[in-house]
Chain A
Amino acid sequence: MLLLSVVRARAGDAAADWAGRAAATESVDAFCNAYTAAPKHVGRAPLALAESELSHLMAAAPDLRCDRWTVDDAARAVLLLSAAQRNDAKGAEAFVRLAIECYERGDAREQQSWLRAISLLPQPDRFTAVAVDACRTNIIPLFEAIACENPYPARHFPERQFNQLVLKALFNSIALARVVGLSTRVNPDLSRMARDYAAERRAAARPVPSDIAMAMIDDARQELTR
């Protein structure tokens, strides 16, 4: 597995072997505890992928962006991907239950790791409800883990939930350039919401985010500049 070799190259053989063993457990408790303990074994350094690693990863997951990943994020992704391979063979339900349990038991940092990796899981649309719910957080790094540098929302969110995500990014001064695939998902309703938000900001004598036009379809953009 590509990510396992990435972890091995940074944290060493002992840590990579730990991840392999931890992923093989049949116990939900042991799996979730290992997910929690990953940084203890592999550290929390930035992943900083090398050119060759990046090109391999891009081949497997073209719009994934790992710039902000740390080594423990990668180790946790290894745990989930290994469990998916093993359990999906026995029945998909077992993996879905395990993955959701792992998310629900996680603290904010564990949930960030989980959200960063979900686009890599088999049949990722099985986790849309969890990802949509994650957007309701007020913990900004947690929101960013799903909303930014992550291809999942543009691929799997229904329109209404995608629009809410974009508005929440604007509201929290998060650059819209970080929302992967935004240009493929702009729609008339999102345009209207962005336009209303601009009007509300102007009425309050507050600055309008300079990148708000990225949330608009072309007609609305022209209106904005008129």
Chain B
Amino acid sequence: MRIFDPHIHMTSRTTDDYEAMAAAGIVAIVEPAFWLGQPRTTVGSFVDYFNSLVGWERFRASQFGIRHFCTMGLNPKESNNPRLTDEVLALLPRFLDKDGVVAIGEIGFDDQTDAEERSFARQVELARDFNLPVLIHTPHRDKKQGTIRSIEVIRSVGFPEERVLIDHNNEETLPIVLASRCWAGHTIYPNTKMDEQRMAALVQKYGSDRIVVNSAADWGISDPLKVPKTIAVMRAHGVPDATIQKIVWDNPVAFFAQSGRLDLTDIDTCAAVDRSQKFETNSVLRGEQVGR
């Protein structure tokens, strides 16, 4: 079964991860722009980060036969820095028309401040101007309220809900999202957010329409193989393969295809890749390994 991980921060992961992901059947991923743990203090840090998402990281993925797409945006946490917000939002249009940019995101709420809401709404307007879908991060704290407020922001901008993916859902927020026309993402984490068993139970209760799962693996405790591991648990719970395929492939493809930039041509024939291919002058292979 072909697998799509629609939310994973590969910038923080190793080539071992890429290798294991490819071996597990992951052939396409979306890397949302997010924060890096250490707060950035100047807009120049974002220029380089955004460039790496459409440049070096995409190349790194391609060397393992994985198609890399990304979303661009200013995350909610760093939206609390007003000067940075103005500068990064002014920078974003430069990146929004680039190949492989399939949404604006992840945007939304963290502390649920007014500054976060302004940045969120302005970026939803950008998504409308650039005809892109939107990926929304829901907060760890006061999550239910944050989810309700996120949908309110989308509605206040008049943005089409079927072009919105609301992520990191749990038992409390999923019914709220499904009651809208937005899509619902689920992050399978080792300790927090959602786990494989609970996810299988949610699928048995709510079905597969507009439902997506991801690993959201990043620099914290997380696991880039959580989507294939969730597939195994769903199978063990008797979820039919057709349902599983809809969740781990058809749905994320349908959602991000709304950008018009989800190029999956030749996805089945690209797995055998030539790793000696160079990106500018760098290769993920160090000189001595080229013969591998």
Contact = CB atoms under 8 A, between A and B. Distances in A.
A203 to B, nearest CB: 4
Contact of A200 (B37, B41, B143): B143
A196 B198 contact: no
B144 A196 contact: yes
B172 A199 contact: yes
Interface string A199-226: 1100111000000000000000000000
A145 B157 CA distance: 39
Contacts of A136: 39, 77, 80, 110-111
B145 A196 contact: yes
A171 B39 contact: no
B111 A164 contact: yes
B198 A204 contact: yes
Interface string B112-132: 110000000000000000000
A203 B141 contact: no
Interface in A153-206: 160-161, 163-164, 167-168, 171, 193, 196-197, 199-200, 203-205
A53 interface: no
A196 B146 CA distance: 11
Contacts of B144: 196, 200
Interface string B32-72: 00000101010000000000000000000000000000000
B80 A200 contact: no
A88 interface: no
A104 interface: yes
Tell me if A's interface is mostly helix, strand, loop or mixed: helix
B145 A203 contact: no
A167 B141 CA distance: 6
Contact of A171 (B37, B77, B141, B172): B141
B220 interface: yes
A122 B112 CA distance: 30
B140 interface: yes
Given A138-B37, A193-B145, A200 B111 contact: no
Given A160-B112, A200-B172, A203-B170, A168 B141 contact: yes
B37 A160 contact: no
B201 to A, nearest CB: 10
A67 interface: no
A169 B140 CA distance: 12
A51 interface: no
Given A138-B220, A160-B113, A204-B198, A193 B142 contact: yes
13 contacts: A104-B41, A138-B37, A160-B111, A163-B142, A168-B141, A171-B140, A193-B141, A196-B142, A197-B142, A199-B172, A200-B170, A200-B171, A203-B172
Given A133-B80, A196-B143, A200-B172, 4 more contacts: A137-B39, A196-B145, A196-B172, A205-B198
Return the 7 tightest CB-CB contacts between A and B, nearest first.
A203-B171, A167-B141, A193-B142, A164-B111, A200-B172, A196-B144, A136-B77
